[in-house]
Amino acid sequence: MNDWNKCIEFHGHECPGLALGYRAALLVIKELGIDRSEDEEIVCVSENTACGVDSIQVMLACTAGKGNLIFRKVGKHAYSFFDRKTGRSIRIVTRSFDRSGGRDKTLKWVLSAPDEEIFLVKSPEYGMPAEAEIVESIVCENCGESASEDNIRIRKGKRLCLDCMDSQCL
């Protein structure tokens, strides 16, 4: 099975958004000379939570669970990639393009157009993200459920998870 089909299988269907992430992953592989990330060697900061992120997970093994997929939700079809081994980085921004031809035509174009027609290549405007931190779990003194310590708040002397902190029943 080729990489594009792996992306489709993971995502559930093929679409232009998935293709944009696939093409961005291919471009970063070429530009930074990287491969799949076994641990946190490659970090992706995605500026969206759209379909393309699934291709990046498949192609580069950047995942939220490993801490090397970070969401900076500003609604742009842009991704910054950082190589921890070399210190190199790249920001790939999707150019505006005509989508009026419909889904199939747009998909075909995204899969076949030259990189420079689809993307702008820039440098990220921020430095390499810190490595993922393993934090302690704290038991909420209201609901009894564990939450990561960075998501616990103190209210009236009690350690509370964010759900209980926001709850009106305290």
155 lies in the same domain as 109: no
Please provide the average confidence, as pLDDT, over all residues in the chain: 94
Residue 107 belongs to what domain range?
3-122
105 lies in the same domain as 147: no
95 lies in the same domain as 27: yes
Whole-number pLDDT of residue 135: 86
Say what the pTM is: 0.85
Residue 169 has pLDDT above 70, yes or no: no
Whole-number pLDDT of residue 164: 92
63 lies in the same domain as 144: no
15 lies in the same domain as 74: yes
pLDDT band at 76 (very low <50, low <70, confident <90, very high): very high
pLDDT band at 168 (very low <50, low <70, confident <90, very high): low
Residue by residue, what is the 3-state secondary structure of the chain? CCHHHHHHHHHCCCCHHHHHHHHHHHHHHHHHCCCCCCCCCEEEEECCCCCHHHHHHHHHCCCCCCCCEEECCCCCCEEEEEECCCCCEEEEEECCCCCCCCHHHHHHHHHHCCHHHHEEEECCCCCCCCCCCCCCEEECCCCCCEEEHHHEEEECCEEEEHHHHHCCCC
